[in-house]
């Protein structure tokens, strides 16, 4: 399958995962704990350009956010970081859970998740089926945790995965690059946002020539 087929606007959706203050802002929960969030600043311009391109080509945009609250804080979930406290991470109705430098519009879709993968106990799969989406264009943070978890589950559910190397960010370069290698080898296709936008422009031009 060609990349043009993999990102066909009629069968694709752009997933924007966990671009929220607590993950991305230097004063967010992870930034204050000393995590390196500098990769986010490098990828945000690419991501916002691609979001604009997606709107122009009528590609559905699904913003996925993490929300934690007492009712979702299971024992296994809260002990997962071996004693490191993240009790304030993306708590419901807080600044930390707000989107960071991306702005969903009324026509966009927002899916709320409580675990790493956006497919676990959410409406994402139902939304994708309703939109007749077969191809997932993956962006967001963190490359090796929530974006990778969602991409893996999407592949297991028979979606075709396109993973954006310049619209994803991790808290270390090594973690970012390891996921890109793993995804490209086993779970999908790793490309840049310019490659995707180029395919959309090419498809639009071909369509206009046939009309």
The residues carrying an active-site annotation are: 18, 113, 146
Residue 100, SS3 per DSSP:
coil
Of 198, 67, 66, 203, give the one whose Cα is nearest residue 141: 66
* Distance in angstroms (rounded) separating the CA atoms of residues 174 and 144: 10
Classify the C-alpha dihedral 47-157-3-60 as positive or negative.
negative
How many other CB atoms are there within 10 angstroms of residue 7's CB atom? 26
Of 4, 1, 6, 2, give the one whose Cα is nearest residue 161: 6
Contacts of 99 by beta carbon, 8 Å cutoff, 6+ apart: 19, 20, 21, 63, 65
* Distance in angstroms (rounded) separating the CA atoms of residues 180 and 10: 26
């Amino acid at each position: 399958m060609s990349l043009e087929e993999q990102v066909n606007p009629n069968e694709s959706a752009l997933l924007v995962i966990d671009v929220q203050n607590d993950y991305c802002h230097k004063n967010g929960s992870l930034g204050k704990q000393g995590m390196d969030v500098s990769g986010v600043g490098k990828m945000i311009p690419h991501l916002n350009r691609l979001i604009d391109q997606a709107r122009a080509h009528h590609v559905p945009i699904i913003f996925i956010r993490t929300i934690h609250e007492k009712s979702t804080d299971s024992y296994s979930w809260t002990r997962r970081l071996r004693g490191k406290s993240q009790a304030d991470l993306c708590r419901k109705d807080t600044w930390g859970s707000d989107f960071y430098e991306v702005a969903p519009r009324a026509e966009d879709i927002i899916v709320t998740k409580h675990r790493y993968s956006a497919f676990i106990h959410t409406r994402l799969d139902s939304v994708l089926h309703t939109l007749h989406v077969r191809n997932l264009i993956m962006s967001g943070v963190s490359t090796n945790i929530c974006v990778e978890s969602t991409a893996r589950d999407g592949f297991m559910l028979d979606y075709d995965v396109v993973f954006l190397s310049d619209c994803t960010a991790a808290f270390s370069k090594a973690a970012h690059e390891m996921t890109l290698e793993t995804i490209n080898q086993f779970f999908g296709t790793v490309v840049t946002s310019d490659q995707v936008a180029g395919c959309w422009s090419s498809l639009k031009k071909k369509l206009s020539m046939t009309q």
